[in-house]
Amino acid sequence: MTETTGPQPASRARLRRQPQQARSRARVEAVLAAADRILSQEGYEALTMRRIAEESGAPVGSIYQFYPDKSAVVDALGRRYLEAFRTAIDDLVERAVARGLPDLVGTMVDVYADLFRTQPGGMALWAGRHLSPELARADEASNALIAEGLQRIVEHLTGRAGGEQVRRATRMVVWAANAVLHEVFKGGGEPDLETVDELKRMLDAYWEDLRGRLSAAEG
């Protein structure tokens, strides 16, 4: 991992200037929302500054006041998608510590699947891997943070520090869940939710195996 900090909020990613007034903030939001729709419905190649202007209703010149080029808009969107994942795993950790998670795997997969379902532009972006080096590093850092959050949940639920064994296992879970959910949600049409159920079954078996290995190691 080449970066230890999480992704920055989208509003701070490569902006030429920060929107100060409510009208400017609303325009930036409209620009990002338009870019998200274009990515999800038409694909990365259709995403141009002129097309964003048409979709958002903002003059092209006003968009350039905030974003120097198309790649800066993409970076802002990408960081927004990653921030949503980071927030979701933080909330999951809080729930586990406060109330426990009787169905850890089912809850985790449902949270992930909902993020993939509600971010079609992000799926189009990641499927094509049109990422700047900075955004690729932020993606790696975000996955690491998610794995660390899952490790905290596992250690809380099992009542023991798992060390390298749990660290490796949670990385495996993040990689597996990312790969399967990208396949499920990458295209148009209805997602194959039966495949999501298969993912739960697979990770349930892995979770039971991990708990058995941890108990054996303690004994």
CB count in 10 Å sphere of residue 162: 18
Q: Do domains 10-70 and 77-218 have the same CATH topology?
A: no
Query: Taking all residues of the chain, what is their mean pLDDT, rounded to a whole number?
Result: 83
- Predicted TM-score (pTM) of the model is 0.75
The phi and psi torsions of 47 (rounded to 5 degrees) equal: -80, 100
Q: Report the top-level CATH class of 77-218.
A: mainly alpha
Q: What is the pLDDT of residues 8-38, one digit of tens each?
A: 443 344 555 565 567 778 888 999 999 989 9
Residue 153 CA: distances (Å) to CA of 99, 112, 189: 11, 15, 34
Helix (H) or strand (E) holding 164: helix 163-185
Q: What is the pLDDT of residues 138-154, one digit of tens each?
A: 778 888 888 999 999 99
User: Looking at residue 168, what is its pLDDT?
Assistant: 94
Domain 10-70 has CATH 1.10.10.60: yes
Least confident residue range of 22-31, 47-56, 103-112, 128-137? 128-137
Domain residue limits, the chain: 10-70, 77-218
| Alpha helix (H) residue ranges in 21-132 | 22-42, 49-56, 60-66, 70-99, 104-118, 120-128
User: Looking at residue 20, what is its pLDDT?
Assistant: 54
46 vs 94: CA distance, rounded Å: 40
